[in-house]
Structure 1
Amino acid sequence: MTPRQSSTKPSEGLTMPHMPMLHEQDPKVTILESLGDISKVELFHNQVLLATYLRPTKTKSGLILTDSHVDEDRYQSKVGLLVKRGPLAFEQDGNWFTGMEFNEHDWLIFRPSEGWSITVNNVLCRIFDDVNIKGRVQDPDAVY
């Protein structure tokens, strides 16, 4: 069964297809400009702060997403921009992150329910334990 085929069970066979979005500017730039100065935000231990990626309302193909669809990203977005980390975040301890390097402004993948949703300078963010980060992508539109 392909991702677009329907199924007799509502939860089977239906996935969100990749939708490249139309960005007026690089989403990293948009987030960082909106976020502003976060030098006085301090994270402890292995915590990381990710600015939540909220898709624009229009796809590259010209489809316009409904307000409710776009608003759902506030709760279900699975990609965020790494903007701050605690002193122990992503430290190699033999069990986690061996041979991996994480940099500020990486797009990281997460499970929304594992993070604490907050706003920093009116930008929607989430705080996670570093071990709850699931992966990294180059394009935030690649994951839904």
Structure 2
Amino acid sequence: MLPYKIPESVLVVIHTPALDVLLIKRADADEFWQSVTGSKNLVDEPLRLTAAREVAEETGILCGEGSALSARLVDWRLQNIYEIYPRWRARYAPGVTRNTEHLFGLCVLERIEPVLNPHEHTAWQWLPYRQAADACFSPSNAEAILLLPQFAP
């Protein structure tokens, strides 16, 4: 494991065909609702692998190669570059202040009850996509959710 987080991450909007979105509440910032998000473990780790790993780690939903949901994990081929919140900058190498976030969607057929990692998240909820966007603390996460009608199957 690297001593610092890699400033390249994924954001995965998990949703149903009806555009209900799964949000999870951060354990280290209880007021923060978000989609699945996480950084690469290795600089050359494929983004799709990062996305599937983070979804499994944070929700227990399997969508990696060979899983039933693998084809439903879609790279939206969009990215956000944003300032890393000061409260989390110490996780990155000195001088790193910006992160590049790659957007993915994962369409599940119905609202699934996630299995949360209690070290990362403390609660979950399914909301219609506009309400989910309003509930997100991160503007880039809210914007990604609002793009959902363009990317939903």
Whose Rg is larger? 1
Tell me which of the two structures has the higher relative contact order, counting C-alpha pairs closer than 8 angstroms and 6 or more residues apart. Answer: 2
- TM-score, structure 1 length as denominator? 0.31
Structure in which a larger fraction of residues adopt helix: 2
Structure in which a larger fraction of residues adopt strand: 2
